[in-house]
């Protein structure tokens, strides 16, 4: 994987494709920020030493041609993963492409919005601050170990201000949570078995305490889950079961809920 930017696009494409093949274990060689000819020559030398499928996103035409010729000489496949999409856009829009290295990582308003969202999310993790929850786009609630924090961070990287509030036995949810008007509140839940397994691993990696037994007790976990479900139902909050979902899938559903939530608010008289 050869890129003149961070290589994130390539890695996403490659991992999506390799996931469709069973019983293979790909060895990844990632070369980001290739912007000079000597850098590209070094990469080509390494391809010669260990040939494999070459995928690249190089904006500079001379670099792309140099790499294509080298791979043809070596006898290894070489694919510009962006070229088919670029061709479709150019044809449909009837305009030429204006290449920009790392164009998707420009320091524009969207970038700074993502940084602001990430700062907000880190400050509002695990119910640390509740006074300004109204500034959030999304507030996630759920019992311990339902992937609230990683989901919030994923959302923040997409410019969504996300806070999360743990639902703890014998402790009432913060009153600010119950009064929210603008943010979308979403509950996350999972099976008792999954939560118990994750909590057991957590306990094993830390110093056990007197509360450890109740923390991993399946019956008590089931009661926690039922109380959380009841709260979400009473408040009309959507509930997502993350038992068999990846963080990305959970976040995608939350973002769909958020689009609908914003649309409803736009059409609601003030």
Q: pLDDT band for 100, please (50, 70, 90 cuts).
A: low
Check residue 26 and report its DSSP letter.
P
Predicted pLDDT at 135: 97
Predicted pLDDT at 207: 61
Helix axes 218-235, 192-204, angle to 10 degrees: 120
Binding site as annotated, residues: 142-149
**Residue among 73, 67, 74, 53 nearest 1 (CA):** 53
Phi and psi at residue 78, to the nearest 5°: -145, 125
Predicted pLDDT at 232: 97
Domain 109-266: give its CATH code. Answer: 3.40.50
Predicted pLDDT at 204: 84
Domain boundaries, the chain: 2-105, 109-266
Exposed/middle/buried for residue 137 (C-beta within 10 Å: 0-12, 13-18, 19+): buried
What are the pLDDT digits (tens) for 237-260?
Answer: 999 999 999 999 999 999 999 999
In angstroms, the CA 28 to CA 134 distance is 43
Binding site as annotated, residues for ADP: 142-149
- The radius of gyration computed from the CA coordinates of the chain, to the nearest angstrom, equals 24
Predicted pLDDT at 265: 77
Check residue 251 and report its DSSP letter.
H
Instruction: Say if CB 90 and CB 97 are below 8 A apart.
Output: yes
Predicted pLDDT at 143: 97
**Residue among 124, 142, 144 nearest 134 (CA):** 124
**pTM, 2 dp:** 0.76
What are the pLDDT digits (tens) for 206-241?
Answer: 766 657 889 999 999 999 999 999 999 999 999 999
Predicted pLDDT at 259: 95
Check residue 51 and report its DSSP letter.
-
The pLDDT mean for the chain works out to: 92
pLDDT at residue 176 greater than cutoff 70: yes
What are the pLDDT digits (tens) for 104-151?
Answer: 555 567 878 889 999 999 999 999 999 999 999 999 999 999 999 999
Q: pLDDT band for 36, please (50, 70, 90 cuts).
A: very high
Instruction: Say if CB 121 and CB 163 are below 8 A apart.
Output: yes
């Amino acid at each position: 994987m050869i890129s003149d930017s961070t290589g994130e696009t390539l890695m996403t494409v490659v991992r999506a494709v390799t996931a469709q093949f069973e019983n293979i274990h790909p060895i990844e060689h990632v070369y980001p920020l290739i912007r000079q000819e000597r850098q590209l020559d070094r990469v080509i030398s390494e391809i010669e030493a260990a040939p494999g499928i070459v995928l690249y996103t190089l904006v500079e035409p001379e670099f792309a041609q140099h790499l294509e010729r080298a791979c043809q000489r070596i006898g290894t496949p070489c694919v510009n993963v962006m070229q088919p999409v670029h061709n479709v856009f150019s044809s449909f829009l009837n305009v030429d492409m204006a290449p920009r290295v790392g164009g998707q990582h420009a320091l524009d308003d969207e970038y700074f919005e993502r940084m602001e969202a990430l700062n907000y999310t880190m400050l509002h993790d695990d119910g640390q601050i509740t006074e300004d929850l109204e500034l959030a786009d999304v507030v996630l609630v759920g019992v311990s170990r339902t992937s609230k924090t990683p989901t919030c961070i994923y959302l923040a990287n997409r410019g969504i201000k996300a806070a999360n509030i743990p639902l703890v036995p014998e402790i009432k949810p913060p009153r600010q949570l119950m009064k929210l008007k603008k943010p979308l509140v979403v509950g996350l839940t999972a099976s008792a078995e999954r939560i118990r397994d994750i909590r057991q691993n957590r306990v094993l990696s830390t110093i056990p305490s007197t509360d450890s037994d109740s923390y991993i007790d399946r019956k008590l976990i089931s009661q926690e889950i039922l109380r959380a479900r009841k709260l979400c139902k009473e408040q009309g909050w959507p509930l997502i079961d993350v038992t068999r979902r990846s963080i990305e899938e959970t976040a995608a559903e939350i973002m769909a809920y958020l689009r609908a939530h914003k649309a409803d608010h736009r059409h609601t008289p003030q």
